[in-house]
Amino acid sequence: MAYIGRPASTTVAAIAATDTFTGNGATQFQLSRAVADGNASAVEVFVSNVQQQPTVTYTVSGNVITFTEAPGSGEPIYVIFRDYPTAPVFTIPDNSVTGAKLVTDAVAETNIQNNAVTTNKIADSAITTAKIEANAITSLQVAANAITSLQVAANAITSAKIEANAITSEKIAPSITLANVTITGGNVSANTIVTGTLPGARLPAGSVLQVVSTTKTDTFTTTSTSFTTITGLTASITPSSATSKIMIFVSVNGSQQVGVNDAFIGIFRDSTQIALGDSVGSRVRHSFLLNSSDAGWSEVGGMNFLDSPATTSAISYSVRARVPTTGTLFINRSKDDSDSVPGAGRTISTITVMEIAA
């Protein structure tokens, strides 16, 4: 509806804060709130409805009002705070603000002062890999000697995590242990490998990777006209690589029946005869020949041969022998095996195989 005059205010006036006391013969009374800077003019004081003069009839210090003369006993005292409204000051007790009282994202990076978060304020195990951004930690953030082998999990560092040319000689300790190999002195050589062995795949071509040898000390006799294995004169080896070669060394001592003299010796890889001459007519193909004297004394024959088995399976190399057509072959003894025969004796025969790196 229409009206005459100024329009009514749409705001509500704040109600001033007040304290009331009754005179009791004292000059000091405690206010319900502190007065800033001890400003007596910040409050209006009435005693028995008579306004008092600031700093003359009363002074204020903090939340205590002091009268120069004590109001009469039973007199009403009325105090009005002129600085109302002001927000009350709350003191938050220590440890009263917990994580449960903070809303999500309440504390942002802009609310944290530089260097405000120290290690004392971070709980053990509070920082996990999920809380660290990619590439957030660089060499500038890592103190010297801060990362030792105790801080690195097993198999945590792979070649994919190492930049090209990142590891230099300055970053390698004088002594390094890799699996069962310990290297000292910087360069790898026979003198710097102090314990363990290098894998065969790391050795240069022509290196001997393994050696197997058999020595036969007892005797053997055969009258066979086909190759027969000399008992106990075999050697088994398992190549570490299909490209490896096998070097074979054979030495055979033996004698033949007087009038026969010759015996053929053959080398076999499993059941396959190797190290043999070309086929010509009906002549016997073999590795080497034993030819003793007519007296039947023991003679030694031998040879070496480089085989290419092309396998990593176990191989058995054997030495076999035969007579030409008739007679008897004696291994590691003379024909006349008797104490009374001059020159009669016992000997040995050997086979040695070596794996050679290709």
Mean pLDDT of 282-295: 83
Q: How far is CA 287 from CA 147, 173, 223, 296, in A?
A: 65, 54, 19, 22
Pick from 54, 81, 108: which residue ends a domain? 81
DSSP-derived secondary structure for 228-259: EEEEEEEEEE--SSTT-EEEEEEEEEEEE-TT
pLDDT of residue 336: 81
pLDDT of residue 11: 46
330 plus 217 within the same structural domain? yes
Reported as a pLDDT band with limits 50, 70 and 90, residue 306 is very high
pLDDT of residue 84: 54
Q: What is the pLDDT of residues 147-163, one digit of tens each?
A: 777 777 777 777 777 77
Q: What is the pLDDT of residues 5-56, one digit of tens each?
A: 555 544 444 567 899 999 999 999 999 999 888 899 899 999 999 999 999 9
CB 210 within 8 A of CB 314: no
305 plus 266 within the same structural domain? yes
Answer with the residue of higher pLDDT: 352 or 122.
Answer: 352
As a whole-number percent, the residues of the chain with pLDDT over 90 amount to: 49
Q: What is the pLDDT of residues 330-347, one digit of tens each?
A: 999 988 888 877 777 899
* CA 16/CA 225 separation, integer angstroms: 135
191 plus 252 within the same structural domain? no
Mean pLDDT for all residues in the chain:
83
Task: State the residue range of the domain holding 28.
Answer: 18-81
321 plus 351 within the same structural domain? yes
pLDDT of residue 68: 93
Inform me whether the pLDDT recorded for 96 exceeds 90.
no
Specify the amino acid at residue 194: V
- In this structure, of 61-70, 127-136, 228-237, the range with the lowest mean pLDDT score is 127-136
pLDDT of residue 182: 61
Residue 145 lies inside a defined structural domain of this protein: no
Residue 117 lies inside a defined structural domain of this protein: no
pLDDT of residue 317: 98
Residue 192 lies inside a defined structural domain of this protein: yes
CA angle 18, 22, 26 (to 5 degrees): 110
Specify the amino acid at residue 315: I
218 plus 190 within the same structural domain? no
234 plus 349 within the same structural domain? yes
CB 4 within 8 A of CB 39: no
- State the alpha helices, DSSP H only, in the chain: none
Answer with the residue of higher pLDDT: 85 or 118.
Answer: 118
178 plus 227 within the same structural domain? no
192 plus 315 within the same structural domain? no
The CATH number that applies at residue 248 is 2.60.120.1340
pLDDT of residue 176: 64
217 plus 327 within the same structural domain? yes
pLDDT of residue 187: 59
308 plus 248 within the same structural domain? yes
Q: How many domains does the chain have?
A: 3
Residue 131 lies inside a defined structural domain of this protein: no
Pick from 27, 58, 81: which residue ends a domain? 81
CA angle 225, 273, 241 (to 5 degrees): 155
308 plus 186 within the same structural domain? no
